[in-house]
Structure 1
Amino acid sequence: MVAATIGEFPTHEVGVTMTTAAVFDNHDGPWTEEEYLALGETPQRVELFDGSLHVTPAPTPRHQRISRKLGNLLEAAAEPAGLELLEAVNVRLRPGRVPIPDLVVTEPVDLDELMIDAAAVRLVCEIISPSNAATDKVLKMHYYAAAGIEWYLLVDQETRMMHLYQRQGAHYVERSVTKPGEVLELTEPVRATIRPEDLVP
Protein backbone atom coordinates (compact mmCIF):
# COMPACT_ATOMS: atom_id res chain seq x y z
CA MET A 1 0.00 0.00 0.00
CA VAL A 2 1.12 3.56 -0.64
CA ALA A 3 0.01 6.90 0.67
CA ALA A 4 -1.33 9.06 -2.12
CA THR A 5 -3.73 11.83 -2.90
CA ILE A 6 -5.33 12.83 -6.16
CA GLY A 7 -6.12 16.55 -6.31
CA GLU A 8 -6.62 18.66 -3.21
CA PHE A 9 -8.24 16.01 -1.02
CA PRO A 10 -6.36 15.19 2.25
CA THR A 11 -3.94 12.27 2.15
CA HIS A 12 -5.19 8.79 3.13
CA GLU A 13 -3.85 5.26 2.83
CA VAL A 14 -4.52 3.99 -0.68
CA GLY A 15 -3.51 1.26 -3.06
CA VAL A 16 -3.10 2.31 -6.69
CA THR A 17 -2.31 -0.04 -9.55
CA MET A 18 0.11 1.13 -12.21
CA THR A 19 -2.70 1.25 -14.77
CA THR A 20 -4.93 3.38 -12.56
CA ALA A 21 -2.02 5.58 -11.51
CA ALA A 22 -1.16 6.22 -15.16
CA VAL A 23 -4.70 7.46 -15.80
CA PHE A 24 -4.43 9.84 -12.83
CA ASP A 25 -0.97 11.06 -13.81
CA ASN A 26 -2.17 12.00 -17.30
CA HIS A 27 -5.03 14.12 -15.97
CA ASP A 28 -4.71 17.88 -15.51
CA GLY A 29 -6.90 20.02 -13.26
CA PRO A 30 -10.03 19.14 -11.29
CA TRP A 31 -12.02 16.05 -12.21
CA THR A 32 -15.54 16.44 -13.57
CA GLU A 33 -18.37 13.97 -13.00
CA GLU A 34 -18.16 12.97 -16.66
CA GLU A 35 -14.44 12.18 -16.37
CA TYR A 36 -15.01 10.36 -13.11
CA LEU A 37 -17.73 8.15 -14.56
CA ALA A 38 -15.60 7.51 -17.66
CA LEU A 39 -13.08 5.70 -15.41
CA GLY A 40 -15.54 2.80 -15.29
CA GLU A 41 -14.93 -0.05 -12.87
CA THR A 42 -11.54 0.08 -11.12
CA PRO A 43 -9.70 -2.35 -8.80
CA GLN A 44 -9.88 0.28 -6.04
CA ARG A 45 -12.77 2.26 -4.64
CA VAL A 46 -12.55 5.68 -6.30
CA GLU A 47 -14.74 8.51 -4.97
CA LEU A 48 -15.14 12.06 -6.25
CA PHE A 49 -15.05 15.00 -3.85
CA ASP A 50 -15.33 18.47 -5.38
CA GLY A 51 -12.96 17.88 -8.28
CA SER A 52 -10.55 15.55 -6.46
CA LEU A 53 -10.41 11.76 -6.40
CA HIS A 54 -10.14 9.74 -3.21
CA VAL A 55 -8.75 6.24 -3.82
CA THR A 56 -8.82 3.44 -1.23
CA PRO A 57 -7.60 -0.16 -1.42
CA ALA A 58 -9.88 -3.17 -1.59
CA PRO A 59 -11.55 -3.86 1.77
CA THR A 60 -10.20 -6.49 4.17
CA PRO A 61 -12.02 -9.81 4.64
CA ARG A 62 -13.12 -8.58 8.09
CA HIS A 63 -14.64 -5.44 6.56
CA GLN A 64 -16.46 -7.49 3.94
CA ARG A 65 -17.77 -9.95 6.52
CA ILE A 66 -19.27 -7.11 8.52
CA SER A 67 -20.73 -5.55 5.39
CA ARG A 68 -22.33 -8.81 4.26
CA LYS A 69 -23.83 -9.64 7.65
CA LEU A 70 -25.14 -6.12 8.23
CA GLY A 71 -26.40 -5.97 4.66
CA ASN A 72 -28.31 -9.22 5.13
CA LEU A 73 -30.02 -7.85 8.25
CA LEU A 74 -30.90 -4.53 6.62
CA GLU A 75 -32.08 -6.15 3.40
CA ALA A 76 -34.46 -8.42 5.28
CA ALA A 77 -35.85 -5.33 7.03
CA ALA A 78 -35.93 -3.13 3.92
CA GLU A 79 -37.90 -5.38 1.59
CA PRO A 80 -41.13 -5.45 3.67
CA ALA A 81 -40.93 -1.63 3.86
CA GLY A 82 -40.67 -1.34 0.08
CA LEU A 83 -37.06 -0.17 0.26
CA GLU A 84 -33.79 -1.37 -1.31
CA LEU A 85 -30.51 -2.34 0.33
CA LEU A 86 -27.55 -1.60 -1.96
CA GLU A 87 -23.84 -2.17 -1.40
CA ALA A 88 -20.95 0.03 -2.61
CA VAL A 89 -22.87 2.16 -5.12
CA ASN A 90 -22.17 5.69 -6.36
CA VAL A 91 -24.30 8.20 -4.43
CA ARG A 92 -24.55 11.67 -5.94
CA LEU A 93 -24.70 14.10 -3.03
CA ARG A 94 -24.45 17.13 -5.30
CA PRO A 95 -22.71 17.88 -8.61
CA GLY A 96 -19.07 16.81 -8.32
CA ARG A 97 -19.50 15.00 -4.99
CA VAL A 98 -19.90 11.23 -5.37
CA PRO A 99 -18.91 8.92 -2.48
CA ILE A 100 -19.33 5.14 -2.46
CA PRO A 101 -20.82 4.18 0.92
CA ASP A 102 -20.47 0.64 2.21
CA LEU A 103 -24.26 0.21 2.43
CA VAL A 104 -27.33 2.32 1.70
CA VAL A 105 -31.05 1.83 2.26
CA THR A 106 -32.90 3.62 -0.50
CA GLU A 107 -36.32 4.19 -1.93
CA PRO A 108 -36.97 2.18 -5.12
CA VAL A 109 -34.42 3.31 -7.72
CA ASP A 110 -33.42 2.51 -11.29
CA LEU A 111 -30.96 -0.32 -10.77
CA ASP A 112 -29.28 0.35 -14.11
CA GLU A 113 -28.33 3.97 -13.40
CA LEU A 114 -24.67 4.74 -12.70
CA MET A 115 -25.49 6.86 -9.64
CA ILE A 116 -28.12 6.94 -6.91
CA ASP A 117 -29.36 10.41 -6.03
CA ALA A 118 -28.99 11.35 -2.36
CA ALA A 119 -32.68 12.26 -2.22
CA ALA A 120 -33.51 8.55 -2.52
CA VAL A 121 -31.22 7.47 0.34
CA ARG A 122 -32.90 6.90 3.68
CA LEU A 123 -29.92 5.48 5.61
CA VAL A 124 -26.21 5.35 4.82
CA CYS A 125 -23.75 3.03 6.56
CA GLU A 126 -19.97 3.14 6.72
CA ILE A 127 -17.73 0.50 8.29
CA ILE A 128 -14.76 2.26 9.86
CA SER A 129 -11.28 0.95 9.10
CA PRO A 130 -8.11 2.41 10.67
CA SER A 131 -7.12 3.89 7.29
CA ASN A 132 -10.41 5.73 6.71
CA ALA A 133 -11.61 6.67 10.20
CA ALA A 134 -11.21 10.44 9.74
CA THR A 135 -13.00 10.35 6.40
CA ASP A 136 -16.02 8.47 7.76
CA LYS A 137 -16.25 10.29 11.11
CA VAL A 138 -15.72 13.83 9.84
CA LEU A 139 -15.75 14.44 6.10
CA LYS A 140 -18.37 11.98 4.93
CA MET A 141 -20.53 12.67 7.98
CA HIS A 142 -20.60 16.36 7.04
CA TYR A 143 -21.26 15.63 3.37
CA TYR A 144 -24.08 13.13 4.03
CA ALA A 145 -25.82 15.51 6.42
CA ALA A 146 -25.48 18.44 4.02
CA ALA A 147 -27.06 16.28 1.30
CA GLY A 148 -30.11 15.67 3.50
CA ILE A 149 -29.62 11.96 4.26
CA GLU A 150 -31.62 11.39 7.44
CA TRP A 151 -29.80 8.48 9.10
CA TYR A 152 -26.10 7.60 9.34
CA LEU A 153 -24.86 4.35 10.88
CA LEU A 154 -21.15 3.91 11.69
CA VAL A 155 -19.72 0.50 12.58
CA ASP A 156 -16.28 0.63 14.19
CA GLN A 157 -14.22 -2.50 13.54
CA GLU A 158 -11.73 -1.82 16.35
CA THR A 159 -14.13 -0.96 19.19
CA ARG A 160 -16.93 -3.23 17.86
CA MET A 161 -19.35 -0.38 18.57
CA MET A 162 -22.17 1.00 16.42
CA HIS A 163 -23.01 4.71 16.36
CA LEU A 164 -26.39 5.81 15.00
CA TYR A 165 -26.86 9.44 13.95
CA GLN A 166 -29.93 11.39 12.86
CA ARG A 167 -29.77 14.56 10.83
CA GLN A 168 -30.67 17.79 12.57
CA GLY A 169 -30.48 20.66 10.11
CA ALA A 170 -27.18 20.41 8.27
CA HIS A 171 -25.56 18.24 10.95
CA TYR A 172 -25.95 14.85 12.60
CA VAL A 173 -26.84 14.24 16.24
CA GLU A 174 -25.84 10.95 17.85
CA ARG A 175 -28.95 9.00 18.82
CA SER A 176 -27.38 5.85 20.21
CA VAL A 177 -24.12 4.02 20.86
CA THR A 178 -24.33 0.23 20.90
CA LYS A 179 -21.52 -1.74 22.56
CA PRO A 180 -20.87 -5.49 22.41
CA GLY A 181 -23.46 -7.21 24.59
CA GLU A 182 -26.03 -4.51 23.81
CA VAL A 183 -28.68 -4.36 21.08
CA LEU A 184 -29.44 -1.68 18.52
CA GLU A 185 -33.18 -1.56 17.86
CA LEU A 186 -33.64 0.33 14.61
CA THR A 187 -37.11 1.75 14.07
CA GLU A 188 -36.36 4.12 11.19
CA PRO A 189 -36.14 3.89 8.24
CA VAL A 190 -36.52 0.13 8.80
CA ARG A 191 -37.19 -2.04 11.82
CA ALA A 192 -34.20 -4.24 12.64
CA THR A 193 -32.42 -5.72 15.64
CA ILE A 194 -28.62 -5.57 15.34
CA ARG A 195 -26.03 -6.94 17.78
CA PRO A 196 -22.37 -5.95 17.40
CA GLU A 197 -21.16 -9.48 18.13
CA ASP A 198 -23.20 -10.75 15.17
CA LEU A 199 -21.21 -8.48 12.87
CA VAL A 200 -17.68 -8.19 14.18
CA PRO A 201 -15.77 -11.41 14.94
Structure 2
Amino acid sequence: MTTEVKDLPRGRAFTRADLATMPDDGHRYEIIDGSLIVSPAPRIRHQIVVTALIPRLRDVCPPDARVLTVPVDVVLADDTVMQPDILVALRTDFTESDLPGPPLLAIEVLSPSTRGIDLLLKKERLQRAGCPHYWVIDPDEPSIIAFTMRDGVFELCGQAAGTETFAATEPLSIAFTPDELID
Protein backbone atom coordinates (compact mmCIF):
# COMPACT_ATOMS: atom_id res chain seq x y z
CA MET A 1 0.00 0.00 0.00
CA THR A 2 1.37 3.41 -0.94
CA THR A 3 0.68 6.74 0.67
CA GLU A 4 -0.74 9.31 -1.68
CA VAL A 5 -0.24 13.02 -1.06
CA LYS A 6 -2.90 15.33 -2.46
CA ASP A 7 -2.31 18.92 -3.42
CA LEU A 8 -5.08 20.89 -1.75
CA PRO A 9 -6.07 24.23 -3.21
CA ARG A 10 -4.25 27.17 -1.67
CA GLY A 11 -5.64 30.65 -1.73
CA ARG A 12 -8.92 29.59 -3.29
CA ALA A 13 -12.15 27.88 -2.33
CA PHE A 14 -12.70 24.16 -2.83
CA THR A 15 -14.80 23.28 -5.86
CA ARG A 16 -16.74 20.30 -7.09
CA ALA A 17 -13.75 19.27 -9.21
CA ASP A 18 -11.62 19.05 -6.05
CA LEU A 19 -14.02 16.48 -4.58
CA ALA A 20 -13.12 14.08 -7.38
CA THR A 21 -9.53 14.02 -6.09
CA MET A 22 -10.47 13.01 -2.54
CA PRO A 23 -9.52 9.49 -1.45
CA ASP A 24 -12.03 6.67 -1.12
CA ASP A 25 -11.22 6.15 2.55
CA GLY A 26 -14.59 5.78 4.31
CA HIS A 27 -14.90 9.48 5.10
CA ARG A 28 -17.64 11.73 3.76
CA TYR A 29 -16.27 14.68 1.79
CA GLU A 30 -18.54 17.68 1.24
CA ILE A 31 -17.97 21.33 0.42
CA ILE A 32 -20.10 24.17 1.70
CA ASP A 33 -19.41 27.61 0.26
CA GLY A 34 -15.91 26.48 -0.72
CA SER A 35 -14.96 24.97 2.66
CA LEU A 36 -14.10 21.29 2.79
CA ILE A 37 -16.04 19.28 5.39
CA VAL A 38 -14.64 15.82 6.20
CA SER A 39 -16.75 13.54 8.40
CA PRO A 40 -15.81 10.13 9.76
CA ALA A 41 -17.98 7.08 9.25
CA PRO A 42 -21.15 7.45 11.35
CA ARG A 43 -21.79 5.62 14.60
CA ILE A 44 -23.98 2.52 14.65
CA ARG A 45 -26.81 4.41 16.43
CA HIS A 46 -26.84 6.90 13.54
CA GLN A 47 -27.14 4.09 11.00
CA ILE A 48 -29.91 2.39 13.00
CA VAL A 49 -31.99 5.57 12.72
CA VAL A 50 -31.30 5.94 8.99
CA THR A 51 -32.20 2.33 8.21
CA ALA A 52 -35.36 2.51 10.35
CA LEU A 53 -36.56 5.70 8.66
CA ILE A 54 -35.89 4.77 5.02
CA PRO A 55 -38.68 2.15 4.67
CA ARG A 56 -41.17 4.41 6.44
CA LEU A 57 -40.41 7.21 3.98
CA ARG A 58 -40.52 4.89 0.97
CA ASP A 59 -43.94 3.58 2.06
CA VAL A 60 -45.42 7.10 1.84
CA CYS A 61 -43.32 8.48 -1.02
CA PRO A 62 -45.37 9.48 -4.08
CA PRO A 63 -44.52 7.63 -7.31
CA ASP A 64 -42.95 10.71 -8.91
CA ALA A 65 -40.40 11.06 -6.07
CA ARG A 66 -37.52 8.98 -4.79
CA VAL A 67 -36.03 8.42 -1.30
CA LEU A 68 -32.25 7.94 -1.21
CA THR A 69 -29.58 7.75 1.43
CA VAL A 70 -25.97 8.88 1.52
CA PRO A 71 -23.81 8.95 -0.54
CA VAL A 72 -25.69 11.07 -3.08
CA ASP A 73 -24.22 14.41 -4.09
CA VAL A 74 -26.60 17.35 -3.87
CA VAL A 75 -24.98 20.03 -6.00
CA LEU A 76 -26.11 23.49 -4.96
CA ALA A 77 -23.24 25.39 -6.63
CA ASP A 78 -19.74 24.71 -7.92
CA ASP A 79 -18.49 25.42 -4.38
CA THR A 80 -21.27 23.57 -2.53
CA VAL A 81 -21.81 19.82 -2.78
CA MET A 82 -23.58 18.17 0.16
CA GLN A 83 -24.58 14.64 1.04
CA PRO A 84 -27.63 14.63 3.33
CA ASP A 85 -28.11 11.41 5.28
CA ILE A 86 -31.51 10.98 3.59
CA LEU A 87 -33.13 12.96 0.80
CA VAL A 88 -36.42 13.00 -1.05
CA ALA A 89 -36.54 14.51 -4.53
CA LEU A 90 -38.52 14.23 -7.72
CA ARG A 91 -37.29 11.41 -9.94
CA THR A 92 -36.97 13.80 -12.88
CA ASP A 93 -34.61 16.06 -10.90
CA PHE A 94 -31.81 13.47 -10.64
CA THR A 95 -29.05 13.02 -13.19
CA GLU A 96 -27.15 9.75 -13.50
CA SER A 97 -24.60 10.97 -10.95
CA ASP A 98 -26.20 13.52 -8.63
CA LEU A 99 -29.05 15.84 -7.70
CA PRO A 100 -28.34 19.25 -9.26
CA GLY A 101 -30.30 21.46 -6.90
CA PRO A 102 -32.04 21.18 -3.57
CA PRO A 103 -34.15 18.15 -2.67
CA LEU A 104 -37.78 18.40 -1.57
CA LEU A 105 -36.64 17.13 1.83
CA ALA A 106 -33.18 16.83 3.35
CA ILE A 107 -32.78 14.84 6.56
CA GLU A 108 -29.70 14.82 8.76
CA VAL A 109 -29.12 12.45 11.67
CA LEU A 110 -26.87 14.13 14.21
CA SER A 111 -23.51 12.70 15.18
CA PRO A 112 -21.13 14.23 17.72
CA SER A 113 -18.76 15.19 14.88
CA THR A 114 -21.46 16.75 12.65
CA ARG A 115 -23.90 18.38 15.11
CA GLY A 116 -22.77 21.97 14.47
CA ILE A 117 -22.42 21.44 10.73
CA ASP A 118 -25.92 19.95 10.43
CA LEU A 119 -27.67 22.49 12.69
CA LEU A 120 -25.87 25.57 11.39
CA LEU A 121 -23.94 25.30 8.12
CA LYS A 122 -26.07 22.78 6.25
CA LYS A 123 -29.34 24.25 7.48
CA GLU A 124 -28.33 27.76 6.42
CA ARG A 125 -27.00 26.63 3.04
CA LEU A 126 -30.07 24.55 2.25
CA GLN A 127 -32.23 27.52 3.22
CA ARG A 128 -30.33 29.77 0.78
CA ALA A 129 -30.76 27.13 -1.93
CA GLY A 130 -34.54 27.06 -1.39
CA CYS A 131 -34.86 23.52 -0.01
CA PRO A 132 -38.54 23.33 1.02
CA HIS A 133 -38.10 20.98 4.02
CA TYR A 134 -35.27 20.14 6.42
CA TRP A 135 -35.48 17.63 9.28
CA VAL A 136 -32.85 16.97 11.93
CA ILE A 137 -32.96 13.83 14.06
CA ASP A 138 -30.98 13.44 17.28
CA PRO A 139 -30.53 9.70 17.90
CA ASP A 140 -29.21 10.25 21.42
CA GLU A 141 -32.38 11.89 22.79
CA PRO A 142 -34.12 10.58 20.50
CA SER A 143 -35.87 13.58 18.94
CA ILE A 144 -36.71 15.31 15.67
CA ILE A 145 -37.05 18.94 14.67
CA ALA A 146 -38.55 19.86 11.31
CA PHE A 147 -38.29 23.07 9.34
CA THR A 148 -40.27 24.24 6.34
CA MET A 149 -39.52 27.11 4.00
CA ARG A 150 -41.74 30.16 4.42
CA ASP A 151 -40.92 33.37 2.57
CA GLY A 152 -37.33 32.22 1.99
CA VAL A 153 -36.65 31.33 5.63
CA PHE A 154 -36.78 28.02 7.50
CA GLU A 155 -39.43 28.05 10.20
CA LEU A 156 -39.90 25.38 12.83
CA CYS A 157 -42.95 23.37 11.77
CA GLY A 158 -42.78 20.36 14.06
CA GLN A 159 -40.85 18.58 16.73
CA ALA A 160 -41.14 15.52 18.93
CA ALA A 161 -39.05 13.63 21.46
CA GLY A 162 -39.16 10.11 22.82
CA THR A 163 -42.69 8.69 22.63
CA GLU A 164 -44.26 11.90 21.29
CA THR A 165 -45.69 11.56 17.80
CA PHE A 166 -44.08 13.52 14.99
CA ALA A 167 -46.51 14.07 12.12
CA ALA A 168 -45.95 15.76 8.79
CA THR A 169 -48.14 16.25 5.75
CA GLU A 170 -45.49 17.87 3.53
CA PRO A 171 -43.62 16.82 1.54
CA LEU A 172 -44.80 13.39 2.68
CA SER A 173 -47.67 12.38 4.91
CA ILE A 174 -45.99 10.46 7.73
CA ALA A 175 -46.23 9.93 11.48
CA PHE A 176 -43.85 8.19 13.88
CA THR A 177 -42.27 8.59 17.31
CA PRO A 178 -38.53 9.18 17.58
CA ASP A 179 -38.31 6.18 19.93
CA GLU A 180 -39.52 3.95 17.05
CA LEU A 181 -36.35 4.77 15.13
CA ILE A 182 -34.11 3.28 17.82
CA ASP A 183 -34.29 -0.46 18.39
TM over 0.5: yes
In structure 2, what is the equivalent of residue 191 of structure 1?
173
User: How far does residue 167 in structure 1 lie from its aligned partner after superposition?
Assistant: 1.2
Q: Which residue of 2 aligns with 1:69?
A: 52
Bigger CA drift: 31-40 or 186-195?
31-40
Unaligned runs of 5+ in 1: 1-17
Deviation at 1:129, TM superposition (A): 1.2
Question: Over residues 11-62 of structure 1, what are the superposed CA-to-partner deviations in whole Å (9 max), with x where a residue is unaligned?
Answer: xxxxxxx957x32xx2232322122134374421000123331111111111
Identity %: 26
Which is further off, 35-44 or 188-197?
35-44
Contact 2:30 2:36 in 1 (8 A): yes
Q: Which of residues 110, 117, 131 in structure 1 aligns to 2:100?
A: 117
Corresponding residue number in structure 2 for 1:158: 140
- CA spacing shift, 1:197–1:82, aligned 2, 3 Å: same
- The secondary structure found in structure 2 opposite 1:197 is helix
The 3-state SS of whatever aligns with 1:31 is coil
| Residue 36 of structure 2 corresponds to residue 53 of structure 1 | yes
TM-score (norm 2): 0.88
Mapped to 1, the partners of 2:168 and 2:68 lie a distance apart of 18
**Structure-1 residue corresponding to 2:91:** 108
Task: Write the distance in 2 (CA, Å) between the matches of 1:39 and 1:54.
Answer: 12
Unaligned runs of 5+ residues in structure 2 are none
Residue 28 of structure 1 corresponds to 9
Contact 1:81 1:190 in 2 (8 A): no
Query: Cα offset for 1:200?
Result: 2.3
